Structures are given as structure tokens and as C-alpha cells.
Amino acid sequence: MAEAPLLPVSPIRAGILCRCPKCGKGRLYSGFLTIVEKCASCGLELRKQDAGDGPAVFIVLFVGGIIVGLALWVEIVYQPPYWVHVVIWAPAILAGCLGALRPAKALMIALQFKHKILGLDDES
């Protein structure tokens, strides 16, 4: 019996869950940001995939804009000492950037797969 073709996976769902962009089931990462050699579920080769610095740039700009806006609001309303800003915003920046980097990189890879960029397609 022939295997049924896979239904298209939403790039947003694959990105948020950090899953294979082809099947949506296999893990995308073997480490924090290390891409697996190939999907354990469908066998898609992912080792040649490279999202570059794009996800990091988007995350830094997005998180930075939010943090700067909040820091300005806190400064205007409460006028705390500068060390309070450091204690509040340094961990917030670190947590925001590191927390969003994995899904952003996975989303970029899923979008590259969907649009067949870098030779990452079903024929791999």
C-alpha cells in the first residue's frame, strides 16, 4: 500500500514548536541552536540549512524596542535610581532574546522550506 502524502505543515506552527518543516513531528534542534542532521520522523536532511543572522537581528530589534519603551515609561513615571534599571532590564533583555531565538530560527527555516530556498525541498 502506498504511503499517503504528508499534509502541508504550517510554518508558524513548525516554528513555534521547533519541529521539522516537512512533517511537523521530528525535532529540529539537537542542542540549543544546533540543527539536527536529518529529521528522525520523515528523513528530511536539515544539515545544510542555515538561517544566518536573520532571526537574531529580528529578535534584538523587537525585544529592544519593547524594553526601551518600557524603560522610558518606568523612568518617566517612577524615576528610579539607575541601578534599578540595570537590575530590571538586563535580565529582561537576556530572557527575551534567548527565549525567542529558538522559535524565530525555526520559523525562518520553516519559511525557507515552504518557499524552497537554499535547496531545502522534498527531494533532499
What was the pLDDT predicted at 5? 56
Question: Which DSSP state fits 5?
Answer: P
What was the pLDDT predicted at 50? 81
Q: Where are the domains of the chain?
A: 11-114
d(CA 9, CA 19): 10
Confidence of residue 20 (pLDDT cuts 50, 70, 90): very high
Confidence of residue 29 (pLDDT cuts 50, 70, 90): very high
Query: Model pTM?
Result: 0.85
Q: How confident is the model over 71-121, as pLDDT tens digits?
A: 999 999 999 999 999 999 999 999 999 999 999 999 999 999 988 886 655
Q: Is the pLDDT of residue 4 over 80?
A: no
What was the pLDDT predicted at 49? 82
d(CA 35, CA 27): 9
What was the pLDDT predicted at 48? 79
Question: Residue type at 19?
Answer: R
| Run of H or E including 69 | helix 54-78
Three cell numbers written together for 113:
522550506
The answer to whether the CB of 29 falls within 8 A of the CB of 102 is yes
| Residue 73 half-sphere exposure toward CB, CA atoms < 13 A | 7
d(CA 7, CA 4): 9
Mean per-residue pLDDT over the chain, rounded: 89
What was the pLDDT predicted at 1? 44
The answer to whether the CB of 80 falls within 8 A of the CB of 89 is no
Pick the closest to residue 40 from 53, 51, 24 (CA basis).
24
Least confident of 13-22, 31-40, 99-108, 110-119: 110-119
